[in-house]
């Protein structure tokens, strides 16, 4: 299902959907035209068809290009505060910026789920194809680190780095044993915000303040977390824990240059906004009748939902 305006507005937008698997055509959105085949071949055919319609136009400096550039600038301005923040513990946006500054363009980055996946989608630029691998909307927790191992085996000449939350990484931390056993020098950067913070944010959005349950790893009101860097060293991997903005880049560089399986644990700001993407989608989360205003908003969203 989908909600108009959250990602696509159909109508008036008309969607051309190309996929090598015919079962995917129109599965999530209604399509005006479905094309089954290899993406490269389809795009080459579409390009030839467009060229046959009319002479090429010079788009540089056009109103359309200026509109897109203005939207990009506005988005960058919106995320700049967290991206350039010098506070400790580091914000996720600042940590992502430090990581991007260290990684070469050919490095393969993987994400699984949660706030880090959302924020990488929105804030981390990629310049080359096949350098960002994600579980996408499935948000499969535990996927990113094993995927980074596979990426490093498939392309041993390129660094492979999994960007994961602490809850995500702890689901497949045992694969450090695989990495050590087979000498796979992939790196996991673990954004440790001590909890299921993406679920916390979802609960806050749906139910409001004071309604967060079972998402924070705490004891007597204080954060409780294992030292994931220590756990990595126990497996025989390199393990480093940092919390300051200026420490993230050097720690990642050390991990990449070590030639070993490595974990960089980054203790990040846990507060909403500093931990999570700026543009959340709409989630169909049922709201109880005891919250009448929020219940009404949820019911309105359900009426707009299209299946």
Confidence at 256, pLDDT banded by 50, 70, 90: very high
pLDDT, tens only, 3-56: 777 667 787 889 999 999 999 999 888 899 999 999 999 999 999 999 999 888
pLDDT of residue 102: 98
pLDDT, tens only, 193-217: 988 777 777 787 788 877 767 777 7
Confidence at 78, pLDDT banded by 50, 70, 90: confident
The torsion angles phi and psi of 221, rounded to 5 degrees, stand at 80, 0
pLDDT of residue 280: 66
The residues near 136 (Cβ < 8 Å, ≥ 6 apart) are none
Which CATH number does 82-267 carry?
Answer: 3.40.50.970
Domain ranges of the chain: 82-267
Residue 252, CA distances (Å) to 10, 46, 208, 247 in order: 43, 42, 37, 9
Calculate mean pLDDT across residues 184-197: 93
207, 211, 215, 219 alpha-carbon torsion, rounded to 10°: 170
Calculate mean pLDDT across residues 230-259: 98
Model's pTM, two decimal places? 0.84
Name the nearest CA neighbour of 205 among 93, 287, 86.
287
């Amino acid at each position: 299902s989908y909600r108009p305006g959250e990602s696509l507005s159909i109508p008036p937008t008309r969607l051309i959907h190309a996929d090598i698997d015919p079962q995917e055509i129109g599965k999530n959105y209604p399509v005006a035209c479905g094309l089954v085949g290899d993406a490269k071949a389809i795009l080459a055919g579409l390009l030839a068809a467009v060229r046959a319609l009319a002479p090429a136009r010079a788009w540089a400096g056009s109103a359309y290009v200026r509109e897109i550039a203005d939207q990009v600038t506005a988005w960058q301005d919106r995320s700049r505060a967290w991206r350039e923040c010098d506070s400790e513990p580091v914000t996720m946006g600042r940590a992502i910026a430090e990581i991007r500054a260290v990684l070469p363009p050919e490095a393969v980055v993987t994400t699984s789920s949660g706030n880090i996946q959302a924020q990488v989608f929105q804030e981390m630029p990629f310049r080359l194809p096949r350098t960002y691998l994600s579980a996408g909307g499935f948000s499969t927790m535990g996927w990113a680190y094993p995927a980074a191992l596979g990426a490093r085996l498939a392309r041993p000449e390129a660094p492979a780095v999994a960007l994961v939350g602490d809850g995500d990484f702890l689901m497949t931390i045992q694969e450090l044993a695989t990495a050590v056993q087979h000498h796979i020098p992939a790196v996991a950067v673990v954004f440790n915000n001590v909890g299921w913070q993406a679920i916390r944010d979802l609960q806050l959005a749906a139910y409001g303040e004071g309604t967060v349950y079972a998402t924070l790893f705490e004891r007597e009101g204080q954060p409780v977390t294992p030292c994931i860097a220590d756990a990595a060293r126990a497996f025989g991997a390199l393990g480093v824990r940092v919390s300051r903005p200026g420490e993230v880049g050097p720690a990642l560089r050390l991990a990449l240059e070590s030639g070993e399986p490595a974990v960089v644990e980054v203790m990040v700001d846990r507060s909403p906004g500093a931990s999570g993407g700026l543009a959340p989608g709409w989630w169909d989360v049922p709201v109880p009748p005891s919250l009448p205003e929020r219940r009404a908003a949820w019911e309105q969203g359900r009426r707009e939902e299209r299946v």
